[in-house]
Structure 1
């Protein structure tokens, strides 16, 4: 049996916004079953990278091939692909939201159809299987607006996995979750990539909750980047070279802490000099 193709190839990619280079010369291949974490201060272009992969941002140069869809600089993003799963940041839904928990998951199964989604044979079984996979059976029939942030995020994971995607993009999926729910969401993502061989690109402002699952780290800062294993990237020497200023990586209580990294906006001489990622630098968790 031939090996599965790599779900993500980024070649010589660059993206400029408002005259500022977010990143350039980026080459990255995510292999099946690999989890790559994307770190860096606010404004470094982490979420923009995910948007470029999804076709929502146009590259300034280079190409992206994601789950068989090729996106080139200067060309519209085109249609999205159901072979790419996407987990957004955890943002509480309004309490008055009338959807049930299972309806959120169902959108991943039948939400792509035109008009009112009508249940098809097998849809209910698939939805139930996804609900069970993310541990949401207990609250699947409750109004989603009344669920906790962790419960809502489990449902978003179920929605993202509906098509068994070979590529999973996660945009700070652990934000605002307590430690128990962070661990639960990480385990769901990790289980999918290990059992289904999916490649995962996960943006995070704190590496510690996912450190045990990460294969490589892409660290973006000031229009530059470095790529390697956690032991290669998360060192004082490597990050000092990336930022061009003294940066120290400390271990405290089993956690990694990056101290002294300058704001990326300042290093790029950009007008949004107040942009700040508390967990990427300034003495907070990396």
Structure 2
């Protein structure tokens, strides 16, 4: 089944063309890394998939529908959320999104409470239910963001730079959890990053974004000096060692 279909897709912010002529399909149960330098359009691409940035309806489909109509099937973790000052406890934080991202705590039914406990259990975070977010580590908060994204039983999870504030230990823990959930629930995962190395053992394909273009394919095909040089428009060198990639400008 096709989860995401892009056909000659142009994405604009106002009058500025950010990404041009994207043309690829993503199937279900895939773990896709979204790679590119800061400012390349990774976040803009993800917002287009969510229908936050409007695009021509014949150029992009999510589960065969326009993005806005497919939102109920999508879980989203934005690039950055300042959670250090939140006085909410873990369970209450998740509850704020049980009816979508609306302000305030909703009235919770028994079914709601059961579902919140269910997603907490799925990310192994029941012990965080009654702890204030302000007392949690970055990795613990990321577990709760992942639990929140699982509300409503989505089929697609979009994660925008989820490891930006995590140390290597927590990156490994959270990434292992994401992969576990993907395999158990047959999810499609899109995870953007500026460093592919943590994803090398878990992702199926990569979308590389640069110079208003995007290419989808296997890592060995896309992450090469020739492809990235053509994509970015200036010389790029890619060095591979075992399960690591080093991408730099060529001398």
Compute the TM-score of the two structures, normalised by the length of structure 1: 0.79
TM superposition shift of 1:226? 2.1
Which residue pairs with 2:127 in the alignment?
138
Tell me if structure 2 keeps the 8 A contact 1:8–1:167.
Answer: no
Tell me if structure 1 keeps the 8 A contact 2:57–2:66.
Answer: no
TM superposition shift of 1:188? 2.4
Which residue pairs with 1:122 in the alignment?
111
Given the alignment, which residue of 67, 71, 92 partners 1:81?
A: 71
TM superposition shift of 1:51? 0.6
Unaligned runs of 5+ in 1: 72-77, 262-281
Given the alignment, which residue of 30, 55, 61 partners 2:51?
A: 55
Given the alignment, which residue of 24, 29, 32 partners 1:28?
A: 24
Between the two proteins, the alignment pairs up a number of residues equal to 251
| 2:157 aligned with 1:171 | no
| 2:89 aligned with 1:93 | no
| 2:7 aligned with 1:11 | yes
SS at match of 2:235: coil
1:29-44 pair list within 5 angstroms: 29-44=25-40
Tell me if structure 2 keeps the 8 A contact 1:38–1:217.
Answer: yes
For 1:190 and 1:163, the matched residues in 2 are separated by 19
Tell me if structure 2 keeps the 8 A contact 1:92–1:149.
Answer: no
RMSD: 2.5
Tell me if structure 2 keeps the 8 A contact 1:12–1:61.
Answer: no
Higher share of residues assigned helix = 2
Query: For the structure 1 residues 103 and 242, does the alpha-carbon distance in structure 2 shift closer, same or farther, using more than 3 Å as the test?
Result: same
SS at match of 1:175: coil
SS at match of 1:155: helix
Deviation string for 1:78-113 (max 9, x for gaps)?
567221100123544133x22101112223434468
Unaligned runs of 5+ in 2: none
Tell me if structure 1 keeps the 8 A contact 2:2–2:25.
Answer: yes
SS at match of 1:69: coil
Which residue pairs with 1:239 in the alignment?
228
Which residue pairs with 1:69 in the alignment?
65
1:130-279 pair list within 5 angstroms: 130-251=119-240, 254-260=243-249
For 1:222 and 1:115, the matched residues in 2 are separated by 41
For 1:248 and 1:115, the matched residues in 2 are separated by 49
Query: For the structure 1 residues 166 and 253, does the alpha-carbon distance in structure 2 shift closer, same or farther, using more than 3 Å as the test?
Result: closer
Tell me if structure 2 keeps the 8 A contact 1:171–1:204.
Answer: yes
For 2:165 and 2:103, the matched residues in 1 are separated by 34
Compute the TM-score of the two structures, normalised by the length of structure 2: 0.89
For 1:118 and 1:179, the matched residues in 2 are separated by 38
Tell me if structure 1 keeps the 8 A contact 2:5–2:61.
Answer: yes
For 1:79 and 1:32, the matched residues in 2 are separated by 18
Tell me if structure 2 keeps the 8 A contact 1:12–1:25.
Answer: yes
Which residue pairs with 1:109 in the alignment?
98
For 1:226 and 1:111, the matched residues in 2 are separated by 32
